[in-house]
Amino acid sequence: MDGITLSSGTRIPVLGLGVYQTPPGITERVVREAIEVGYRLIDTAQYYRNEAQVGRAVREALSQGMAREDLFLTTKIMASGHEESRRAIAESVAALDLGPIDLMLIHWPQEDGPGTWRALEEAVEAGRVRAIGLSNFYGQDLEEIIRGARIMPAVNQVESSVLYQQRRLMPALERHGIRLEAWGPLGQGRRGVLDDPVLARVARAHGATPAQVALAFQVRTGVITIPKTVSRDRMVENLGAADIGLSAAELEQLAALDTGRCIGWPGFPEQDYDPADHPFSPPA
């Protein structure tokens, strides 16, 4: 699978599996199946309460001959300030039990973002984490981290889909070499994202599904993409998006679908909303 080299020098697969809202009781099975069908990027978080299960599934794959360097593990900490964040980092490293974590993110803005970032930088320098980044950071929260960073964030993981392409955020990220990583790339099944006639038309041209085309658009425009599913068949379908080649004309048509408004997270009322207008985004 294609990968993207982050500013840290770490190479991350362009398409992975997210385990948000995957119950701990089935997470180990889901991650094991994801690795079996070809996923090499798994994204979890302390907030998801399934880090330990992700770690067990990965260790099983390693025991069967998978090389650790062929798998990329991301997690996110929910902490504020230097000391609290140092403890959170240690907890995630212990829960995953896989040695250095490939990428660790601040899950969402907290009161003392700079203190948390300093703890993450120290974790990189100590060899406990290979790359660090942000999730759900916009505006002043993002700039505050960038201004004080010794190590620049490698990614900012935010909601992004063919209908919400983060055009307001992208210039700030590009100025600092920060890559966009997408949660909710299929719109979480809301607002009929996959019913769009343009997606359907492009999908027919490629013998693909609208979901595959939505993901392929992200991949072909350089967005690291982590759809979530617990279905093995859907895992295979989503992973196949990485092999779909879209023409320049098709990419232009899909880019025109951008509404500039996010869909939000499960439980959030469906309405026009842009996190760039607000200081806080909830965890993904």
Please give the Cα distance from 231 to 261 (Å, whole number): 28
Active-site hit among 48, 138, 164, 273: 48
Please give the Cα distance from 187 to 191 (Å, whole number): 8
Is 48 labeled as catalytic in the residue annotation?
yes
Question: What is the torsional sign of CA 268, 141, 92, 63?
Answer: positive
Say if residue 45 is exposed, middle or buried (CB neighbours under 10 Å; 0-12, 13-18, 19+): buried
How far is CA 35 from each of CA 16, 17, 103, 104, 186, rounded to the nearest angstrom? 10, 9, 18, 20, 21
Q: Which residues contact 268 (CB under 8 A, 6 or more apart)?
A: 282
Angle of the 248-255 helix axis to the 197-206 helix axis, nearest 10: 160
Tokens 């700030």 correspond to 172
Please give the Cα distance from 18 to 30 (Å, whole number): 10
Contact between 199 and 254 under an 8 Å Cβ cutoff? The reply is yes
What is the radius of gyration, based on Cα positions, of the chain?
Answer: 18
Angle of the 248-255 helix axis to the 210-220 helix axis, nearest 10: 100
Max CA distance (Å), the chain = 54
107 carries a ligand binding annotation: yes
Please give the Cα distance from 31 to 43 (Å, whole number): 10
In the beta sheet, which residues pair with residue 13? 3
Residues in the annotated binding site: 107
Active-site positions read 48
Residues in the annotated binding site for substrate: 107
